[in-house]
Amino acid sequence: MRLLPTIGFVLFFVCTSCAQEEPLPRAAAQTQEYTPQASLGYTVQHSFYTLSYSSTHRQAEYAYYYLSPENILGGQTRTDDFRIDPKVKSNPVKSTDYQGSGYDRGHLCPAADMALNFTAMSETFFMSNMSPMAASFNRGIWSKLEDWIREEALGNGGLYVVTGPLLSTSCGTIKDSITVPCAYYKIVFKGGSQPKMLGFILSNAGASGSLQGFTVSVDEIEKKTGLDFFPQLDNVLEQSLESKVNFSGWRF
């Protein structure tokens, strides 16, 4: 009679252990495939995105993730829990540090790209994922580009996305230590049998017009940031994709 409870406990322990060892969701696992090589900062890995944090500029030089349809359609609402990133060990930014600056706490990895679950959404509100954006930019052309990328991710079954500020030039500071970037970049990449890649650079100011007008080669972004994007790709393929602007396969 004493054997049955023991067996039950063992089965419960085994099942619990198996549950804890379940593989990461596809979007989290795939994010690890093409992590950029950092230039100014050190790599910080969160559950569904990776960033490189610059203690000097007090923000990330890039945020990188795999944007899957599941991430977009997950249904998780905004948490708005802006807070210090516990993984940032030097010069972290507090949620109140932007107050009175006139700049938005602008997401690099957008909240709407991480609607998969509570953890994915909440982690986008770490202040390490924020950069000082002009309101007219953050809520205008930048938001338009974010919407376009989500549409393309849905249409392509997922995309790799890298985004960040151009920290080589400054348009001021907040609290004499948080750099206000003059411009931002985004890169989207679709792998597989028909790979494609597209880069964008946008000034940190209100703008209008077609998103095509902001496209640039990824090589140009690498020159302005000092970062190496998608270094894991075959050299010939990387050169082919990064050296030119190719609209083929993208819908504008």
The predicted structure's pLDDT at residue 23:
47
Q: What average pLDDT score do residues 79-100 get?
A: 97
Rg (CA), the chain: 20
Determine contact, residues 61/52, Cβ cutoff 8 Å.
yes
Helices (H) and strands (E) in the chain — how many of each?
Answer: 8, 11
pLDDT for position 29? 61
What does the pLDDT read at residue 13? 37
The reported pLDDT for the residue numbered 91 is: 96
Q: In this predicted model, what pLDDT tens digit does every residue of 102-141 receive, in sequence order?
A: 999 999 999 999 999 999 999 999 999 999 999 999 999 9
pLDDT exceeds 50 at position 230? yes
* Separation of alpha carbons 194 and 187, rounded Å: 17
Q: What is the DSSP string of 137-181?
A: HHTTHHHHHHHHHHHHHHHHT-EEEEEEE-TTSEEEEETTTEEEE
Taking only the tens place, the pLDDT of each residue in 155-188 is 999 999 999 999 999 999 999 999 999 999 999 9
Asked whether residue 30 carries a pLDDT value surpassing 90, the answer given is: no
Mean predicted lDDT score pLDDT of the chain: 91
pTM given for the model: 0.88
**All domains in the chain, ordered by first residue:** 23-242 (3.40.570.10)
pLDDT at 25: 58
Average pLDDT over residues 226-245: 97
